[in-house]
């Protein structure tokens, strides 16, 4: 494995190896996600256009934006438009394990902590459910409209 692929430099290299090893996985350039086509998983790219950081992964799409605080006193991230993933389906009231498995797969395959919002829009009660996997079973919380 070469330097560009993440290998550490040796002690006898002419430039101090500590300097290379400090920044070998951090790259700053314009349009870093598109420009760094041979990025290795674990590298962090810094986009000089918008000052955002990106973590490169081995999974599709290949990079994730790293959410950052703007200032040291900015301890609460603020999102101007966060859209939650809501699935609409006609389910029983309450939904059965078989219905949830048919919609989302097995709770052990999606993993512990996975969650979605389910809207039973065809129901008389017009309920929303927050569906969560504990890694073994489906769990849900019913939510109703405010009157």
Please write the tens of the pLDDT for every residue from 50-82. 888 888 888 877 888 887 766 555 556 566 666
Given a cut of 70, the residues of the chain with pLDDT beneath it are 1-27, 69-83, 123-125
pLDDT at 63: 86
For residues 133 and 113, the answer to whether their CB atoms sit within 8 Å is yes
Local structure of 92: helix, strand or coil: coil
Residue 94: is the preceding peptide bond cis (ω within 30°)?
Answer: yes
pTM of the model: 0.46
If you average pLDDT over every residue of the chain, what do you get? Answer: 77
């Amino acid at each position: 494995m070469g330097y560009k692929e993440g290998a550490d430099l040796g002690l006898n290299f002419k430039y101090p190896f500590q300097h290379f090893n400090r920044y070998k996985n951090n790259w700053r350039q314009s349009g870093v996600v598109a420009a760094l086509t041979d990025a290795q998983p674990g590298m962090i790219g810094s986009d000089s256009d918008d000052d955002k950081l990106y973590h490169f992964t081995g999974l599709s799409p290949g990079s994730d934006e790293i959410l950052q605080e703007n200032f040291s006193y900015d301890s609460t991230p603020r999102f101007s438009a966060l859209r939650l993933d809501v699935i609409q389906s006609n389910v029983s009231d309450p939904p059965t394990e078989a219905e949830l498995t048919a919609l989302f797969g097995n709770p052990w395959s999606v993993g512990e902590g996975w969650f979605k919002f389910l809207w039973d829009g065809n129901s008389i009660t017009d309920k929303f459910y927050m569906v969560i996997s504990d890694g073994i079973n489906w769990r849900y919380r019913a939510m109703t409209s405010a009157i």
